[in-house]
Copies of this chain bind each other. A is one copy, B any other.
Amino acid sequence: MNITLAQAEKMISVAKQKSTSLDTKMNIAIVDAGANLVAFGRMDGAWLGSLDISIKKAKTARYFDMNTGIIGELSQPAGPLYNIEHSNNGLITFPGGVPIKNKDGEIIGAIGVSGSSVENDHAVAEAGATAI
Protein backbone atom coordinates (compact mmCIF):
# COMPACT_ATOMS: atom_id res chain seq x y z
CA MET A 1 0.00 0.00 0.00
CA ASN A 2 1.35 3.35 -1.01
CA ILE A 3 0.09 6.91 -1.01
CA THR A 4 -1.11 8.26 -4.36
CA LEU A 5 -0.24 11.64 -5.83
CA ALA A 6 -3.91 12.60 -5.64
CA GLN A 7 -3.92 11.86 -1.91
CA ALA A 8 -0.67 13.76 -1.40
CA GLU A 9 -1.98 16.79 -3.27
CA LYS A 10 -5.16 16.72 -1.20
CA MET A 11 -3.02 16.72 1.96
CA ILE A 12 -0.94 19.65 0.76
CA SER A 13 -4.12 21.57 -0.02
CA VAL A 14 -5.54 20.95 3.46
CA ALA A 15 -2.17 21.72 5.07
CA LYS A 16 -2.01 25.03 3.20
CA GLN A 17 -5.45 25.97 4.49
CA LYS A 18 -4.46 25.07 8.03
CA SER A 19 -1.27 27.07 7.65
CA THR A 20 -3.17 30.11 6.44
CA SER A 21 -5.64 29.80 9.33
CA LEU A 22 -2.63 29.95 11.69
CA ASP A 23 -1.21 32.94 9.81
CA THR A 24 1.94 31.00 8.86
CA LYS A 25 3.81 30.20 5.64
CA MET A 26 4.94 26.62 5.35
CA ASN A 27 7.03 24.21 3.36
CA ILE A 28 5.05 20.97 3.03
CA ALA A 29 6.54 17.66 1.89
CA ILE A 30 4.91 14.26 1.38
CA VAL A 31 6.91 11.03 1.02
CA ASP A 32 5.63 7.58 0.14
CA ALA A 33 6.12 4.25 1.94
CA GLY A 34 9.62 4.09 0.45
CA ALA A 35 10.45 7.49 2.01
CA ASN A 36 10.76 9.08 -1.42
CA LEU A 37 9.21 12.46 -2.24
CA VAL A 38 5.73 12.32 -3.82
CA ALA A 39 4.65 15.96 -3.62
CA PHE A 40 5.94 19.25 -2.28
CA GLY A 41 4.80 22.84 -1.99
CA ARG A 42 6.54 25.95 -0.62
CA MET A 43 4.10 28.75 0.23
CA ASP A 44 5.04 32.22 -1.02
CA GLY A 45 7.36 33.88 1.47
CA ALA A 46 8.03 30.73 3.52
CA TRP A 47 11.53 30.32 4.96
CA LEU A 48 13.91 28.98 2.36
CA GLY A 49 15.79 26.88 4.94
CA SER A 50 12.59 25.07 5.79
CA LEU A 51 12.51 23.49 2.34
CA ASP A 52 15.11 20.89 3.28
CA ILE A 53 13.79 20.60 6.83
CA SER A 54 10.27 19.74 5.70
CA ILE A 55 11.58 16.97 3.43
CA LYS A 56 13.85 15.63 6.18
CA LYS A 57 10.96 15.64 8.67
CA ALA A 58 8.79 13.62 6.28
CA LYS A 59 11.59 11.12 5.65
CA THR A 60 12.42 10.86 9.36
CA ALA A 61 8.78 10.15 10.24
CA ARG A 62 8.63 7.32 7.68
CA TYR A 63 12.11 5.99 8.49
CA PHE A 64 10.96 5.18 12.01
CA ASP A 65 7.14 5.18 11.62
CA MET A 66 6.58 7.71 14.39
CA ASN A 67 6.19 11.44 14.90
CA THR A 68 9.54 13.18 14.60
CA GLY A 69 9.20 14.82 18.01
CA ILE A 70 9.29 11.42 19.71
CA ILE A 71 12.68 10.69 18.20
CA GLY A 72 13.89 14.09 19.35
CA GLU A 73 13.15 13.18 22.94
CA LEU A 74 15.39 10.14 22.59
CA SER A 75 18.23 11.84 20.75
CA GLN A 76 19.12 14.34 23.49
CA PRO A 77 22.49 14.24 25.27
CA ALA A 78 22.62 11.11 27.49
CA GLY A 79 19.52 9.77 25.69
CA PRO A 80 19.48 6.33 24.07
CA LEU A 81 19.56 7.68 20.50
CA TYR A 82 21.98 10.54 21.09
CA ASN A 83 22.85 12.28 17.81
CA ILE A 84 20.89 9.87 15.62
CA GLU A 85 20.51 12.94 13.39
CA HIS A 86 23.87 12.06 11.82
CA SER A 87 22.35 9.08 10.01
CA ASN A 88 20.53 8.94 6.68
CA ASN A 89 22.17 12.09 5.31
CA GLY A 90 20.62 14.09 8.15
CA LEU A 91 17.48 13.58 10.21
CA ILE A 92 15.29 16.30 11.70
CA THR A 93 13.89 15.12 15.01
CA PHE A 94 11.83 18.02 16.32
CA PRO A 95 8.06 18.13 15.74
CA GLY A 96 6.51 18.57 12.30
CA GLY A 97 6.88 15.08 10.79
CA VAL A 98 3.93 12.70 11.02
CA PRO A 99 3.30 9.24 9.47
CA ILE A 100 0.31 8.89 7.14
CA LYS A 101 -1.97 5.86 7.57
CA ASN A 102 -4.70 4.44 5.37
CA LYS A 103 -8.11 3.47 6.77
CA ASP A 104 -6.73 0.07 7.79
CA GLY A 105 -4.07 1.70 9.89
CA GLU A 106 -1.21 0.81 7.54
CA ILE A 107 1.49 3.43 7.08
CA ILE A 108 1.53 4.55 3.44
CA GLY A 109 3.82 7.58 3.72
CA ALA A 110 4.60 10.61 5.86
CA ILE A 111 4.21 14.37 5.85
CA GLY A 112 6.80 16.94 6.95
CA VAL A 113 6.03 20.60 7.63
CA SER A 114 8.41 23.46 8.43
CA GLY A 115 8.09 27.23 8.56
CA SER A 116 6.91 28.36 11.97
CA SER A 117 7.08 27.23 15.61
CA VAL A 118 7.31 23.48 16.09
CA GLU A 119 3.81 23.57 17.57
CA ASN A 120 2.43 25.14 14.42
CA ASP A 121 4.52 22.88 12.22
CA HIS A 122 3.07 19.83 13.97
CA ALA A 123 -0.50 21.14 13.85
CA VAL A 124 -0.27 21.67 10.10
CA ALA A 125 1.34 18.26 9.58
CA GLU A 126 -1.40 16.61 11.63
CA ALA A 127 -4.07 18.41 9.60
CA GLY A 128 -2.49 17.18 6.39
CA ALA A 129 -1.92 13.62 7.59
CA THR A 130 -5.57 13.19 8.54
CA ALA A 131 -7.00 14.80 5.40
CA ILE A 132 -7.74 11.50 3.68
In the bound complex, residues from chain B placing their C-beta under 8 Å from that of A84 are: 53, 92, 94
Task: Let me know if A23 is at the binding interface, CB within 8 A.
Answer: no
Say how far A76's CB is from chain B's closest CB, in angstroms: 5
- Residues on B with beta carbons closer than 8 Å to the beta carbon of A59: 49
Q: How large is the interface on A (under 10, 10 to 19, 20 to 34, 35 or more residues)?
A: 35 or more
Cβ < 8 Å to B, chain A residues 14-49:
32-44, 47-49
Q: A92: which of B8, B50, B60, B87 is its contact (CB, 8 Å)?
A: B87
Assembly CA distance A39 to B37 (angstroms): 11
Cross-chain contact A39 with B36 (CB below 8 angstroms)? no
Residue pair B39, A40 in contact (C-beta under 8 Å): yes
A117: B residues at CB distance < 8 A: 80
The reply to whether B94 and A82 contact each other, CB–CB distance below 8 Å, is: yes
A63 to B47: give the CA distance in the assembly, Å. Answer: 6
Task: Give A76's nearest chain B residue, CB to CB.
Answer: B77
**A89-129 Cβ-contact flags toward B at 8 Å (1 or 0):** 11111110000000000000000000001100000000000
Instruction: Tell me which of A9, A36, A64, A84 has the highest count of chain B C-beta atoms within 10 A of its own C-beta.
Output: A84
Judged by a CB distance under 8 angstroms, whether A51 is at the interface is: yes
A contacts, CB < 8 Å to B: 4-6, 8-9, 32-44, 47-53, 56, 59-60, 62-65, 72, 75-78, 80-95, 117-118
